[in-house]
Amino acid sequence: MSGDFQFPYDYHEVEFGPEGTIARRDQVDQVVNAIRQSQPSDIIFISHGWNNTHDDARGLYQNFFRVLKTRADSGQPVNVSGRKFSILGALWPSVAISNQQGTASGQAAPVAASLAPSKPADADIFCSLQTFCAALQIPSSDPLIVELKSLVPGVENFPSRQRRIVEIVRSLLPPETASASLEDASQAFFKIDPLELINRLSKPTFTLPSSQQQIGGAAGLGNLLTGIGGSLVHVMNYASYYMMKTRAGNVGRTGAYQVLREIRDDFPHLKLHLIGHSFGARLVTAATDGPDGKPIILPESLTLLQAAFSHNGFAHFYDGHHDGLFRGVVTSHKVKGPVSITCSKQDTACGIAYPIASRLSGDTAAALGDANDIFGALGRNGAQKTPEAGTVPLQQSPHLYSFQHGRLLNLNGDSVITSHMDICRDEISAMLLQAIAST
């Protein structure tokens, strides 16, 4: 770990690989040994989201827990002086999304000089292609990637090239599952005729303000690009989103679940709290849900900060026929205590794939991704069509919330949370400490 970070609590971290497995077993052993020696009362497991290097994630964790420590030391709204916290930070391979200006912070290989784009639209497509390659960790020498790059120059004039680009992108992605495809129209992405797909995505979705184009942002997949160039950017960006969504779920159900299961087995009286930001919220929810047929972790609390997954994730028959992907977390009582969800309409980045999903499904409405759209984000709207969920304002001053076992609490931060990354807040710390204290 970099020596530039200082944490107000005992801090450890575990790295996970792209397939979701534990990357370094020695880190898990260090965590177990540290718990045995320091004997904390509570372990707080936290996961970053998309568009974070390891140091970006460490910086987020450092800032978040500094705010929490200040609030805890104040003794308000609750006194947790009798609790001893240890932090376990997840580090997983996330990657940035390109923006509409044609820049990306993913670790993709540079485009060969002979294939360098000569038009702005081509440059945007190349940029999104590089992010896609980084998301899949595909080398630039891969034959399909070489072919993709060769198809981009002047692509708007060649429907045959457009079709082939979509076919290649689809072939490089892992197949969707029926349960997962319903939340973001990924089934449509895989099944629609390539040229019809391009036509549906040729309209702009939404604009991501420059203030949200930042490290750690969920990244807006929509932009102002229109026509064939904009549509292919949407295709690449949606494919990158799809890969990161899949990876976050895999990390949660595989490596993160394993680490937390070991901690739970070795220290059954230790209180365990899970926090996820953005795609990290999907990660910790998948870990809580657990692999089929395996014993659950049963954390004391689950806190989802500006979660980048479907607002129907916990829903019951959200379309009249289907439950949300994580409905079992609620119905099988997989969390002992509070489930807290922050949301804010100011979080435009938390739209993620949902405006694009609406276009994929054929929706041409101007307002996309809100609570009335079947494709909307938890971090924007809170849990929808979930009988166990209630909504209260996220307070600007210390406040006592009514946490109840088996209930989900949407914390509306419209007047408090200003952006997707605005989670290192006193209001959130006060809420979290009360949730912890209630366990």
Query: 178 by DSSP, 3-state: which?
Result: helix
Query: 271 by DSSP, 3-state: which?
Result: strand
> With contact defined as beta carbons under 8 Å apart, do 78 and 429 qualify?
no
Q: What is the enclosing helix (H) or strand (E) of 393? A: strand 389-393
Query: 82 by DSSP, 3-state: which?
Result: coil
Confidence (pLDDT) at 113: 38
Q: Which amino acid is at 412?
A: N
* Nearest Cα residue to 302 out of 419, 406, 424: 406
Left, alpha or beta for 225 (phi > 0: left; psi -120 to 50: alpha)? beta
> With contact defined as beta carbons under 8 Å apart, do 65 and 9 qualify?
yes
Give, as one character, the DSSP assignment of residue 309.
S
Q: Which amino acid is at 166?
A: V
Q: Which amino acid is at 147?
A: E
The burial class, CB within 10 Å (0-12 / 13-18 / 19+), for 157 is exposed
Q: Which amino acid is at 170?
A: R
Q: What is the enclosing helix (H) or strand (E) of 121? A: helix 120-136
> With contact defined as beta carbons under 8 Å apart, do 162 and 228 qualify?
yes
**CA–CA gap between residue 352 and residue 350 (Å, rounded):** 5
Confidence (pLDDT) at 210: 34
**CA–CA gap between residue 166 and residue 83 (Å, rounded):** 53
Confidence (pLDDT) at 215: 41
The count of other CB atoms within 10 Å of the CB of residue 31 is: 19
- Chain centroid offset of residue 192 CA: 26
> With contact defined as beta carbons under 8 Å apart, do 143 and 174 qualify?
no
pLDDT tens for the chain, 439 residues long, are: 556 899 999 999 999 999 999 999 999 999 999 999 999 999 999 999 988 899 999 999 999 999 999 999 999 999 999 999 999 999 999 875 544 333 323 333 343 333 444 566 788 898 889 888 888 888 888 999 999 999 999 999 999 999 999 999 999 998 766 555 677 888 889 999 999 999 988 876 544 333 333 444 444 444 445 689 889 998 988 888 888 889 999 999 999 999 999 999 999 999 999 999 999 999 999 999 999 999 999 999 999 999 999 999 999 999 899 999 999 999 999 999 999 999 999 988 776 567 788 788 877 664 567 888 888 899 999 999 999 999 999 998 888 999 999 999 999 999 999 999 999 999 999 999 999 999 9
**CA–CA gap between residue 154 and residue 138 (Å, rounded):** 24
Q: What is the enclosing helix (H) or strand (E) of 214? A: none
- Chain centroid offset of residue 93 CA: 12
* Nearest Cα residue to 422 out of 329, 340, 334, 346: 346
Query: 22 by DSSP, 3-state: which?
Result: strand
End-to-end C-alpha distance for the chain, whole angstroms:
31
* Nearest Cα residue to 306 out of 273, 338, 279: 279
**What domains can you pick out in the chain, each with its CATH number?**
10-94+246-349+376-437 (3.40.50.1820), 113-240 (no CATH)
